[in-house]
Amino acid sequence: MEGFDARKKRFMRILSILKRTYPHAKCSLDFGNDVQLLVAVILSAQCTDARVNKETPALFAKCKSAKDFAAMPQAQMEKYVRSCGFFRTKAKNIRETCRILDEQHGGKIPRTMEEMLRLPGVARKTASIVLGNAHGILEGIPVDTHAIRLSQRMGLTREKEQNKIEKDLQKIVPHEDWLNISNLFVFHGRALCTARKPKCKECPILSYCPYGKKAAKS
């Protein structure tokens, strides 16, 4: 079984290749300010970024600040986010979260993971994305479906739970790349390492990926 040092060395080669392959990798959600980013990430739970980006322009044209989102009636908010799934819960969480931001944080995004996790609809993945993009604060690695799939295929973790996968990744990913690796996983997961029929033979990290080397032989 591969030891930790060997796994980290192999990952650093993977990271270098992914950075060269996707030099413009960034958050794929569209937003105009930090509060809109938070709203978009809440909506992206169990929904594609593409779908969220299709639905948020109309909502963001109406709501610019936390006060705007908090003031929008529940029924109206639901109409804007209906196609993003779990729309009633998401609408309620957005309104309540933005009320808290407005009343307790001056309409701004908090600067700690602890404060972020107190907001309705915000878990570690959401908090990590927003803290990283809004403040450049790296308190966690956002672990979404792409990160779960790719880290398992690349042999970076054997875990299946998000929090345990994040802990494994934190041991080998340089701290300054905690947000960037999530973006790189998303770009690579969409381009080549897809959930169905990954294009392993075209993959630039094939020689460093256990799953890819096995798949390429079949």
Could you list the active site residues?
125, 144
Angstrom distance (rounded) from CA 147 to CA 182: 6
DSSP classification of residue 109 = P
Angstrom distance (rounded) from CA 101 to CA 99: 5
Closest CA to 87 of 76, 72, 98: 76
Token pair of 202, please?
A: 């075209």
SS (H, E, C) 78-91: HHHHHHHCCHHHHH
104: how many CB neighbours lie within 10 A of its CB?
Answer: 13
Asked if residues 49 and 29 have their Cβ atoms less than 8 Å apart, the reply is yes
Closest CA to 134 of 164, 155, 105, 157: 105
